Structure 1
């Protein structure tokens, strides 16, 4: 074992982060070569004059970054670092799951929940023409400031169920995903724990893992996150942020009542946990339950956008921040995204301020209701959850189907769907035997055909599916 000791005078941030940076620098320079054993945590804490907790947190962060490996009874060792060409694409693909882009030729995409086509292109085209005519300089240059109207549009779009944010608290973002990532980057550091429900919008959980945050998963029931488990995790794991979809959960369609929301807000207050309230589907279903932001305004970030109700290609999103946080989130968003695209942000704002977004939303809801009716007709007799305003359903698979096997059988039949593993924040032993079937892509005739194909697979059972050997 080397006599190396870290230099904590260099680097930025808290001691554990500086210690982690020193370890990583030593590994990069070869001072700590692959296979080298790191000092015992207690010994290192004594040698450099820090607490054992500081060292433990730094070592845990090194584990998260894949730089070291711990062996019970033997200690912590520097891992062999493969080249970027060997590991980079593989690791990112693994974190991204199977959502790799375009569908195979001839397959129907029932794995996407953006707003269906209802003629919104005409309204978007007209607004884009207006922007190019009215603001040719801004369109052709970098965005250096955010007009106040972007915040006004966000205030209008986020206001719901009697809650209205202050326009000054709003940050315009490149969609909801970017909003969530920016919030977490602004209020946490690498190594901090972020809590998700055990089924969730997993793409953001995986993105945060790439950023060095540690992901926790809480138990859920028919309403979402279980308060008792939330409190247990707060006591034992001390998460910095919890991500929630209280109005309409993706993929389960669960919704929290007022009592549940109040319990969650009270626990977050008691343990000083910040909350991200994803309300992207709230604008579709118009739920009257109070927003978490109205119950705990000092610790709740609300994110929403246009992707599910107007059009995902606009990339219009907003986040409402608690007092004093908006500047930090705005800077984080700029650092992470390279800055807001003026054309898209201005288009999103004008869609909202002109009333066009609300009118498109009305047509989208009507179209989704018609498609949900098709689902009920085609899948009659099978157990699933759906709502007329929501672009997906949550199907419980009959015996002896497994989620992954049914997903493969559906693809073979011509339909891409999402298995339950696509929504797990991390590894889990809990099995739901469910799949999510989305139906906002394609025209209505293709949607009907897709449901009929899925019905055929369900009716045929495993006897009708021969997996590749």
Structure 2
């Protein structure tokens, strides 16, 4: 085994990326020749003064680059490459924006890192609707969406409705999915340098997108019921965010549902400090959450976002945002600027799915499949601490000792299963450690694949110290 050590002061980007780059450089220049055993993760972490999770992620990167191989029970070894190649330095911006997922998912793995709508035979309905659109609008589908017909807005009004609440079509903007809707709102109502408030754990691709366009991040503490009002007020008073992003109906990744008194408190604080609210209701609309929306409690400052990719069909990345009075035109222009515009065929397909009732039918069928898979999770992971919901396609699992989130993710990858560690959902730098993973289960086509993936993860959890040591 080598005595080589990386110099963590050298290089750019996060520590794990620097270490991975230095391992690759050492392999390329012969310092770590083929067959060399890399130091055990715990030893290297101690020697260079970083966490085991950091070393685990670095080792995972060089495995993905095809430079080393982890052998269960033996360790990690440098592979023999007939031709050396110059080290591939990681781009700091790319590293900071990409999260902990590989840019391109490795082939042949079970995908438990996705929460898109399950495959329930949507293809037939989509083919029928797309055929109808092609026949009726053969000129429009070959061009830009120059006109926005009224039924596109009516469809959004209908899809975003809840109970007795229904936004007026005049407040609705059709968008290229929920993500584009949120980025359009951030772009339209805040300026570079402004702070955006996020829960410590959230759908972090929004926070990364906000950072990319020059907004700063303000972290707000949360608990089992979502964002804590007292900490939100502290952040508002001290850091003066212009906007807050929340998922009160069903939070990703924690599955938390915010109670009514807390929603009211958040709305009151936002009104007191003049903070805009973005309410992402993608998962909330799937649960049938009966509580009032933030938009009902603070309609003058809340943007309500919804879409179809999580509940209807993964490939139909269409959505809508309902705006406060007189803001729809501004958001529509901002959306065009940040997304490039909405294709006619997508907007028309989304509208027909909703207005024909097909979207609701598919959402209900998807909910049945998700419920069966969630019941399977409760069966297989009995005895473990995790949060789930019968209509949400993921669960948030607490890892037993001695597992760390990043280390378990790498162990699962070695066993052929892709999952998300907790760092994937951190909106910014935080000292908090949760020792949790998110397991999404809607991507596998068959329930047998879901069972197989769950059983692999269960075996890893049960392996305890032995499984942990095997990835040194």
Alignment equivalent of 2:204, drawn from 191, 202, 205: 202
Q: CA deviation at 1:161?
A: 3.5
Q: 2: CA distance between counterparts of 1:467 and 1:274? A: 49
Give the corresponding residue for 1:176: 178
Alignment equivalent of 1:411, drawn from 410, 413, 433: 413
SS of match in other structure, 1:352: helix
When structure 1 is superposed on structure 2, of 138-147 and 99-108 the one drifting more is: 99-108
1:180/1:303 contact within 8 Å kept:
yes
Q: CA deviation at 1:342?
A: 0.8
Give the corresponding residue for 1:257: 259
Aligned residues: 384
Give the corresponding residue for 1:296: 298
Please, what is the CA RMSD of the aligned residues?
1.3
| Residue deviations 1:119-174 (CA, integer Å, cap 9, x gap) | 11110111000111011111011111211111100000000132210100000000
Alignment equivalent of 2:102, drawn from 100, 103, 107: 100
Q: CA deviation at 1:102?
A: 4.1
1:162/1:290 contact within 8 Å kept:
no
Q: CA deviation at 1:211?
A: 0.3
Give the corresponding residue for 1:246: 248
Alignment equivalent of 1:461, drawn from 454, 460, 464: 464
Give the corresponding residue for 2:284: 282
| Residue deviations 1:344-393 (CA, integer Å, cap 9, x gap) | 11101100000000000110000000001111111111111111101000
Give the corresponding residue for 1:10: none
- Give 1:37-52 correspondences, 5 Å limit: none
Q: Higher RCO, 1 or 2 (CA under 8 Å, sep at least 6)? A: 2
Q: 1: CA distance between counterparts of 2:365 and 2:424? A: 29
Q: 1: CA distance between counterparts of 2:90 and 2:194? A: 23
Q: CA deviation at 1:97?
A: 1.1
SS of match in other structure, 1:314: coil
| Unmatched segments (≥5 aa) in structure 2 | 1-87
Q: CA deviation at 1:312?
A: 2.1
Q: 2: CA distance between counterparts of 1:155 and 1:244? A: 20
2:101/2:420 contact within 8 Å kept:
no
2:402/2:468 contact within 8 Å kept:
no
Give the corresponding residue for 1:233: 235
| 1:220 matched to 2:222 | yes
Q: 1: CA distance between counterparts of 2:299 and 2:89? A: 43
Q: 2: CA distance between counterparts of 1:468 and 1:252? A: 27
1:173/1:318 contact within 8 Å kept:
yes
Q: 1: CA distance between counterparts of 2:363 and 2:300? A: 30
Q: CA deviation at 1:466?
A: 4.3
Q: 1: CA distance between counterparts of 2:379 and 2:350? A: 36
2:385/2:397 contact within 8 Å kept:
yes
**Taking structure 1 as reference, are residues 399 and 214 closer, same or farther at Cα in structure 2, changes over 3 Å only?**
same
| Residue deviations 1:250-275 (CA, integer Å, cap 9, x gap) | 00011111111100000000001000
Q: 2: CA distance between counterparts of 1:178 and 1:158? A: 16
Q: 2: CA distance between counterparts of 1:211 and 1:178? A: 13
Q: CA deviation at 1:101?
A: 4.4
SS of match in other structure, 2:256: coil
Q: 2: CA distance between counterparts of 1:433 and 1:377? A: 22
Q: 1: CA distance between counterparts of 2:229 and 2:361? A: 38
1:310/1:361 contact within 8 Å kept:
yes
Normalising to structure 1: TM-score of the pair? Answer: 0.80
SS of match in other structure, 2:384: coil
SS of match in other structure, 2:289: coil
Q: 2: CA distance between counterparts of 1:411 and 1:338? A: 36
- Give 1:11-90 correspondences, 5 Å limit: 89-90=91-92
| Residue deviations 1:149-205 (CA, integer Å, cap 9, x gap) | 111000000001322101000000000000000000010110011000110010010
| Unmatched segments (≥5 aa) in structure 1 | 1-85
Q: 2: CA distance between counterparts of 1:372 and 1:320? A: 31
2:253/2:396 contact within 8 Å kept:
yes
Q: 2: CA distance between counterparts of 1:175 and 1:163? A: 22
SS of match in other structure, 2:438: strand
- Give 1:49-448 correspondences, 5 Å limit: 89-442=91-444, 443-448=446-451
**Taking structure 1 as reference, are residues 395 and 468 closer, same or farther at Cα in structure 2, changes over 3 Å only?**
closer
SS of match in other structure, 2:439: strand
Q: 2: CA distance between counterparts of 1:212 and 1:467? A: 42
2:309/2:315 contact within 8 Å kept:
yes
Q: 1: CA distance between counterparts of 2:358 and 2:186? A: 31
